[in-house]
Amino acid sequence: MNATSSPSRSGLDWARAQAFLARERASFARANPRSAELAAQARQHLLFGVPLHWMNDWGTPFALHVDSAQGALVIDADGHALVDFCLGDTGAMFGHAPAPVAAAPAAEPAAPATEAAAAAPVDGKKVYEAQCQACHQATGQGMPPTFPSLVGSPIANGPAEAHIEQTLKGKNAMPPFAGLNDAELAAVISYERTSWGNKGGAVTADQVKSQRGK
């Protein structure tokens, strides 16, 4: 065995390990161009280019940037759907939380709203953009098979009760959205049922309220 391939570091072939790391770093960079752009911007403003210096100890060439997250589901800046197995740390860093934690504030008595605020209609499109668009896309086409299309879908064109139940409780990769209030859920469900040619029809906040806890 020659000097370039002799094992080192307690039996590890260090040259091969470094070559493997280089390949993985290159693959990561190719798969995450948007994160690379955001990391370049961060280096202009953050010490070491990351929020916490120990992030530079990671094996990746730059930190992964997150677009949105809900419960254990994380969507990165390049649109990859990831499952988070470190809910304590990443929830603190990125602001998301497991569904029971996110839903807990909704169980507390709400602060009295002004008459004007209570009467103000909720924009279903804005709720969709904030809560659903990362997975189902602005066009409603989704990212099948993980996030199915809403265009012409049975759920968006079928019985309202089924659509409400799935949104409240979640299904497969879709997390529950019980943390949204009745008006917000009614607005976003109505938006999904009346957009992109869907004919499911609107739902009301009273319909959502009646299905909570069932």
Residues 18-73 pLDDT 10s: 899 999 999 999 999 999 999 999 988 988 888 888 888 888 999 899 888 777 78
In 138-158, which positions are buried (b, 16+ CB within 10 angstroms) versus exposed (e)? eebebbeeebbbbbebebbbe
The answer on 129 and 63 residing in a single domain is no
The domain spanning residue 155 has which CATH number? Answer: 1.10.760.10
**What pLDDT score was predicted for residue 31?**
95
The answer on 125 and 86 residing in a single domain is no
The answer on 144 and 90 residing in a single domain is no
Residue 9 lies in a domain: no
Residue 185 lies in a domain: yes
The answer on 153 and 92 residing in a single domain is no
End-to-end CA distance of the chain: 69
**What pLDDT score was predicted for residue 119?**
55
Domain count for the chain: 2
| pTM reported for the whole predicted model | 0.49
Residue 50: domain span: 14-99
Largest Cα separation within the chain, whole Å, is 81
* Domain-terminating residue out of 99, 129, 164: 99
Residue 79 lies in a domain: yes
* Domain-terminating residue out of 33, 66, 99: 99
16 vs 214 pLDDT, higher one:
16
d(CA 17, CA 187): 53
**What pLDDT score was predicted for residue 113?**
55
Residue 114 lies in a domain: no
The answer on 128 and 57 residing in a single domain is no
Vertex 164 angle, CA 158 and 166, to 5°: 90
Q: Evaluate whether 78 touches 35 at the Cβ level (below 8 Å).
A: yes
The answer on 139 and 85 residing in a single domain is no
Residue 63 lies in a domain: yes
* Domain-terminating residue out of 99, 129, 153: 99
Mean pLDDT value across residues 116-125: 74
The answer on 29 and 60 residing in a single domain is yes
Closest CA to 205 of 188, 179, 185: 185
The answer on 152 and 75 residing in a single domain is no
Whether residue 106 has pLDDT greater than 70 = no
The answer on 160 and 95 residing in a single domain is no
